[in-house]
Amino acid sequence: MKISSNIIRDLNKNRINLPDKKEDISLDSVHISSPEEHGCNDDFKNFLSKGIKKISDYTKPRPTTSADTIEASPKIAAFSGGLTGMMSGGHPINAAGGAIGGAVGIKVGEKTESLGKAVAAAFTAGAVGNTAAITALMVIASALNGVSSSISPSGLALTAITGGLSGVSGTMQGSCMGDVKDGSSTGMIAGSAMSAFGASPLLAISGALAGAAGGMVENKAGKYLTAAGVGAVTGAACGAIGGPVAMAVNGILGAITGVLATAVGPKFGQIQRNIMEDVQNFFTKIFKPLTKNLGIKGKTAAGALGGAISSIPMALLFSAIAGPPGAALAVLGGAAVTGFKVNKILKEREKIEASS
């Protein structure tokens, strides 16, 4: 049948969609869109748009969650260095060097205002810390078992290097530079995840150092090239004990980890901080009436509890990578950091009230 131009015009006015071919069209091919259908589509588009905007907002810093800080944090450096050491060393004892080196590096950096001296101090302190810790462990094991325990020179050297590099990683994550902190922490997590699929456990250190190096460079292309280069070199070194093939594989994975940490790290870190703040604010509303009559210590304890609860999502991630010790460290770290922040704010507020 033929449809006249008048009919087509009338159909278009009533929101009717016709196929391009206008001849020999059956009425079965004509679809009339109802107002309800268009309303549903608009609602879905609005819902999708709001969801995308919400996710985008979570990647942006707030005044209270920016990664860039005025001062570096020895506490965060110690925690991050210890976590990196534990994840890369395969034993909680390796957390000692990373924690000591991370804190020492920050302190030296603050006094000397020299990145090179801070890195050197972090490496030295971390290496000595791990060596002392593993030696003490051997002595204690010998005393308890009645049998002499020892570690080979190569094993001791590897332990020292692990502690030193973990200390450097901790110093980077405790610095006041946002991109460096986020790149390093994300690189550590990504490197640890790669080790779960057969890569060297030391790739956690490689990823942390590569992510930090990328965060130091302003130029976008330079960021990725630097991260890839540092990741490739340190990754290959991590696989050296396994021979040429392991070196090549870990070098490639190290480069990928470095680029990934540099590209994703700042946004990933910002999302974590924003979510943690929202969770803490939620629990603050719940705990506030209960802590109204508590002193500084009680409110600090309540803040630490809120920090521990808000760290559960990160703890689940760490548990998949490093097992229960990783999860425990994530929760304890969240509690310690939040408790410290709450305590600091309360003491500053007390000083202001006393002087007014």
Pinpoint the alpha helices (H) of the chain: 5-13, 35-58, 74-89, 95-112, 115-145, 153-173, 178-195, 203-215, 220-238, 244-291, 296-310, 312-355
Tell me what pLDDT residue 193 has. Answer: 84
pLDDT tens digits in sequence order for the chain, 356 residues long: 444 555 445 545 544 444 454 444 454 555 555 555 555 666 767 777 776 777 777 777 777 777 778 888 898 899 889 888 888 866 778 888 999 999 999 999 999 989 899 999 999 999 999 999 988 888 888 888 777 777 788 888 888 999 999 999 999 999 888 889 889 989 988 888 887 777 888 898 999 999 999 999 988 889 999 999 999 999 999 888 888 898 999 999 999 999 999 998 888 888 877 877 787 777 777 777 767 777 778 878 877 887 787 777 777 766 766 667 777 877 887 788 778 777 777 787 777 777 76
Instruction: Report the 10 Å Cβ neighbour count for 22.
Output: 11
Look up tokens 């990928």; give the residue.
Answer: 256
Q: What are the angstrom distances between the C-alpha of 53 and each of 82, 95, 207?
A: 36, 40, 30
Predicted TM-score (pTM) of this structure:
0.69
Tell me what pLDDT residue 31 has. Answer: 52
Asked if 257 contacts 203 with a C-beta cutoff of 8 angstroms, the reply is yes
Cα angle at 214 between 163 and 260, to 5 degrees? 90
What separation, in Å, do the N-terminal and C-terminal C-alpha atoms of the chain show?
A: 91
Tell me what pLDDT residue 321 has. Answer: 62
Tell me what pLDDT residue 25 has. Answer: 47
| 168 vs 173: CA distance, rounded Å | 9
